[in-house]
Structure 1
Amino acid sequence: MTRPVTVGLNGTRASDAAADWGAHEAALRGCPLRLVSAWEWQPYSHAPLTGTETSEQWARRLPGEAAARLAQRYPHLVIEADQLTGPPPEMLCRAASGAELLALGTAGLGALKGFVLGSVAMATIAHAHRPVVLVRPDPAAPGPVADGAGEKAPVVAGVDLGPTTENVLRFAFEAAAVRSADVEIQYCWNPPVGYVQGIGGDLRWRADIAAEGMSMVRSLIAPWAEQYPRVAVEVCSEIGSPARHLVDAGAHASLVAVGRRTNLYWPHEPRIGHVTHAVLHHSPTPVAVIPQD
């Protein structure tokens, strides 16, 4: 059975952008689209505003309305709309478990401040066992994201040669293939404080470690490049802040893919990681967080 692209909705403009991105992604991948909203009963701390529609009815209506809107734009796309009952992060993680990926919307705070990630999005990213994509609404356009906006731009993959690298590369090459785009591999690191002394030693160390890093990255991408011969690959090996390099690369990318490691010592207390956390908050393009197996 083909896994769907799943989108979590909450009625915001960012959520609408995620729905449009998810529909286009599903069309590219040739798979169904599933739209879900999660509702959890909460006791009122004050009297609710007068009206005929309850929050549960609103949550139930949300996916259906989004499905009807997207069906007009993608008449051949199979679209399913569901309202889930339970804690939103738990329900979204459950929905993601059977999906190719889960798309969520995130709101912007401005070019300098970045983006705000709500507690639901953060908890879902930290616990989901499938890729989660954070989508930003286009600040220059009042409506949904345009179809294929930036589609030919490269897919950027941030790798650290750790346990998430293989999954990040798999996702990046698959995403680039359906877009007929290139893959840009970003391998970045910060030199340890006091590792070397003297200008000459520092320059030699930088050259040696850059060459070693490029060699290791190229060996890792070789099987994926062979599997996707039409996807051109560029490898960038940089010294400096990995998050800053990935955010800068995201300015000319269609998608940025980063990994999330599993905490081996406290597996029930997952963490997003400081680099992924920074990229999520500041990358101007959609960010896919790929969990470790």
Structure 2
Amino acid sequence: MTPTLVAGVDGSPQSRAAADWAAREAVRRDLPLHVVHAWPWQPLTGPIAQDRGTEARRADDVLKEVEGELTHRFPGLDLTAEVLSDAPVQALLHAAKDAEMLVIGSRGQGALAGFLMGSYGRQVIAGAGCPVVSVRSAHGRPAAVPEEGEVVVGQQGGAEESAGVLRVAFEAAAARKAPLRAVRAWSLPPVYGYSPGSMWIADQFGGLEPYEKAALEQALEPWRLKYPEIEVVAHVEQGNGGQVLLTAASDAQLLVVGRRVRESALGAHIGSVAHAVLHHSVCPVAVVPHP
């Protein structure tokens, strides 16, 4: 099956910006783009009269308008579009089930208002099995980011744990012919969190910071070999993960972070680092699920 990019639209300028970004990414990677618009028919209770046919035409018009804009701006794009009769979260998760990437706007209308601030955004980002890219907008277009900027990726844990996140970042850098900055943030553990075993490992590397640098280089090694054409900067810094990444990505084209695949009794979670960068990053943010 050919990998496909999926973009969710709802008629808002923010979602149009997401569709525009997704189209550019599809052209870069020579991939098809599937644009979806969720339209669940739920008659309102009250004095407001609703006509199913009229509402359905409005849904079609939203999609046709976006489709027309993208066809005009990207004439070589392999583009399909579809109205999905389901609630937004379920529709997007279903459409992205086998997708290479799902692209959404950072704000929406209707049920998606305040997308990243509310439960809808968390459900989509935490529930998707593929990377989800959040795109900010300015006047209905993706917010201006430097086209010559780096791709920045946050690396955590061991080489195997971060492999999926690094794969997405290296693929994005290769598609853009851009340099890659791999960032590993670390902090001193509480004094009672030190264990003889962990301190012995750190001591073999001459301290905690050299240990963190060695861990990052180990994670990067197979990807450097696979993508020798990419200029890679290994960046290790002590501090809060979200803050370190936001500073490193201030002039980036794309910021890539991971989220653990997990569920709890309180529902889906995206993690504190992903939460911070989604709210404050100017450039698009890709959130990649990993074990």
Using the size of structure 2 for normalisation, the TM-score is: 0.86
Deviations 1:124-157 (A, max 9, x none): 101000000000003xxx24238x9523211111
Partners of 1:136 and 1:48 lie apart in 2 by 34
User: Which residue of structure 2 aligns with residue 245 of structure 1?
Assistant: 244
Contact preservation (8 Å) 2:41, 2:52: no
**Per-residue CA distance 1:258-281 (angstroms, 9 max, x = gap):** 111022x74994311111111111
Residue 3 to residue 55, structure 1, CA distance change in 2 (3 Å): same
Residues paired across the two proteins, number: 277
In structure 2, give the amino acid aligned to 1:171.
Answer: V
Give secondary structure in 1 for the equivalent of 2:137. coil
User: 1:180-195 counterparts in 2 under 5 A?
Assistant: 180-194=177-191
Q: Distance in 1 between matches of 2:19 and 2:206?
A: 45
Query: CA distance change for structure 1 residues 236 and 62 in 2, over 3 Å: closer, same or farther?
Result: same
Is contact 1:164–1:260 with CA below 8 Å preserved after alignment?
A: no
Structure 1 runs of 4+ off > 4 angstroms? 49-53, 204-207, 265-269
1:151 corresponds to which letter in structure 2? Answer: E
2:18 equivalent to 1:18 = yes
1:161 counterpart (157, 160, 170): 157
Helix, strand or coil at the partner of 2:207: helix
Select the residue among 148, 151, 157 that pairs with 2:147. Answer: 151
Structure 2 residue matching 1:221: 3-state secondary structure: helix
SS of the equivalent of 1:191 reads coil
CA distance change for structure 1 residues 273 and 52 in 2, over 3 Å: closer, same or farther? Answer: closer
Shift in alpha-carbon separation, 1:267–1:156, aligned structure 2, 3 A? farther
What CA deviation, in whole Å up to 9, does each residue of 1:51-77 have, x standing for no partner? 997333322322221111111111111
Q: Which amino acid aligns with 1:186?
A: V
Structure 2 residue aligned with 1:87: 87
Alignment pair present for 1:289 and 2:287: yes
CA distance in 2, matches of 1:7, 1:190: 37
- Cα offset, 1:241, TM superposition: 0.6
Greater alpha carbon shift after TM alignment, 184-193 vs 10-19: 184-193
CA–CA separation in structure 2 for the residues paired with 1:281 and 1:118:
11
- Secondary structure of 1:97 counterpart: coil
Gaps of 5+ in 2: 109-113, 194-201
Q: How does 1:124-273 map to 2 (within 5 A)?
A: 124-138=124-138, 142-145=139-142, 149-161=145-157, 164-194=161-191, 208-263=207-262, 266=264, 269-273=267-271
Q: Tell me by how many angstroms 1:24 deviates.
A: 0.3
Distance in 2, Cα, partners of 1:156 & 1:42: 42
**Partners of 2:106 and 2:135 within 8 A in 1:** yes
Task: Tell me the TM-score normalised to structure 1 length.
Answer: 0.86
- Change beyond 3 A, Cα 1:227–1:246: same
Q: Hey, what's the Cα distance between the residues in 1 that align with 2:52 and 2:97?
A: 35
Q: 1:153 to 1:267 in 2, by over 3 A?
A: farther
Alignment partners' CA distance in 2, 1:256 and 1:48:
44
Unaligned runs of 5+ in 1: 109-113, 197-203
Name the CA distance, whole Å, in 1 between partners of 2:271 and 2:221: 27
Q: Which residue of 2 aligns with 1:71?
A: 71
Structure 1 contact 164–291 (Cα < 8 Å) conserved? no
| Larger CA deviation: 90-99 vs 166-175 | 90-99
Any idea what the Cα deviations from partners look like across 1:202-242, whole Å, max 9, x if unmatched? xx999711111111111111111111111111011111110
